[in-house]
Structure 1
Amino acid sequence: MNQPPSKRKKATSTTFSNSTPANNSNNNNFDQDNPANATITVTAIEIPELSEQEQSDRLLLERKVERAFFEAGKALRELRDRRLYRSTHRTFEEYCRDRFAHSRQQSNYLIAAAEVYENLTTIGCQNLVNEDLTTNRTQVLPTTERQVRPLTKLEPQEQEQAWQQAVEEAGGKVPSARIVTDVVQRIMERTQVTNSYHIGEVCQILAKDNPELRGKGCCWGIVTHVGEFSCTLRTWDTELTVGLKHLKSFDYLPQECEQMQQICDRLNRIYSESLEETVKNLLQSLGKLNRPYLTAMEDKLLNLIELEYDVIA
């Protein structure tokens, strides 16, 4: 018996349906002769709105993620300041390396970032005039240490202004580290002062809130290089480059600068990492003198150390 010819359903247009089919293969009709004319059934998936409690939980968890670097920096600062590492480690640097696999610099970055974060939440960011600088009705704050690091170069009031400007440039969102760096650089260029220091001048280091200068506050050094925005100093134990706002000249006379150069040479010839702690402490105290000479006792002690380590010039 001959089979009757099959009838094919031909659609004249593409149709999207929100109905839920029992079997997609039975509801999607494909015209092999004209693929453009096909009936496609799409299942709509309803996404339920968050309840008030879920919205509250989400905001709380988001805040915890955003504040992670801040909490880490605060904890490290307390561990350092209270010397809670002293029962197992000789120095904070050794403790951070063994316990957290941090270099001393990484820990200092986190500590400095926590201080900046605190500044941003206390100086003025909580009372933003521009309502567009809020996300989900919450204050826009840094979420990583890298975003905050450039701000450590500014004074607290400048930090708050720079952050607001970076948020504006990011369209009201959390700005990237690159945007923050660009803003900070522009601010520093506007406020830059002429470098009036000269080679051979004796300057004091003002560490302030710069983590890279921790332990060098009040040290004096001899200027060995004058840059556009910084000077390179030779101190009692090292050579380092310091920004202009972290320097203060002693305004010594030329003869006094020569005397300090001689003292610096003596200290540098003695210093090494292998020195006993007592000797290091003495050299460090001489490296923080606020006068251009040694007392008779200081000179005797330094002579004794030079003889002991056979470093007489």
Structure 2
Amino acid sequence: MLEPVPDGLLLADKPAGISSHRAVAIARRVLGTRKIGHAGTLDPMATGLLILGVGPSTRLLTHLVGLDKRYTATMRLGIATDSDDADGAIVDSIGMPPDGMDADALEQAMAALRGPIDQVPSTVSAISVDGKRAYQRVRAGETVVLPPRPVTIRRFEALGAREHTVSTPTGGAVRACDVDVVVECTSGTYVRALARDVGRALGVGGHLVALRRMDVGPFSVDDAVDIDDDAAVQEALIRPTDAARALFPVIELGSDDARDLSDGKRVAVTAADDDGPVAAVDGGTDRLVGLVAVRGGRLRVLTNFPPPSRVGGSA
């Protein structure tokens, strides 16, 4: 019996303790296909929205990685780690001053990081340095200096704070302050670097102890499924047409034009020029034919999407 090839976007709620690569491996097992990728890595410590592309919809992932994102997070001030998060080794444990957190000073430090900034990524990261990951060089004992990158922090707001005593690996104790925050930012932002930089500005050090990705563009973790729930994963694929409608402007085509576009022809339309992506949809079947640009009244394919196919299977 022929079975449909899985095709669509999967919104997964990644739990703490597994890598994004492991989440992909779980989805491959459940959906029975190796053609799965993800848009935007989450560190093992982090939880929340991980968008997976399945089958032909992996072609959408290129257009997802650059979307803005929203996170909730907890910064621990008073202690710095080599990775800027809780998975790293403590490199400084100054602790909070005796009179505790100065709310005005915290707001000033956070305000300095809002808007367009040049952010130095965390050294223990997956950024490639001369063909090798930065974290691999650090673990090999190399000194790594990463250049700053332009990012935009659209929102960086403290939601609450609490001070408490933290035990250190050497048996000591440090007074720390955990600050819950919300961050809305452009792609490529390191939220743990924000915690690091706030701690540095306050002179006490800082790192991230919790991170949850809430939104990627129009997609929300509220609509995500538990990656370990096999039944939910099997039922949760978002059709490529529905995903494209959420992401891009749409041009609906008649069946003849849809077929011609699939065959690589430049279809004529009455639409304003648009460098795209614009979703070209077969109005009769509601199938995503391709992502296109509009130039001089004709469509030029940026990414094509083949008609649904089937694979052999057992009844």
Bin for the TM-score computed over the shorter chain: under 0.3
Structure number having the greater helix percentage: 1
* Structure label with greater radius of gyration: 1
TM-score (norm 2): 0.21
TM-score (norm 1): 0.22
Structure number having the greater strand percentage: 2
Of structures 1 and 2, the one with the larger relative CO (CA 8 A, separation 6+) is 2
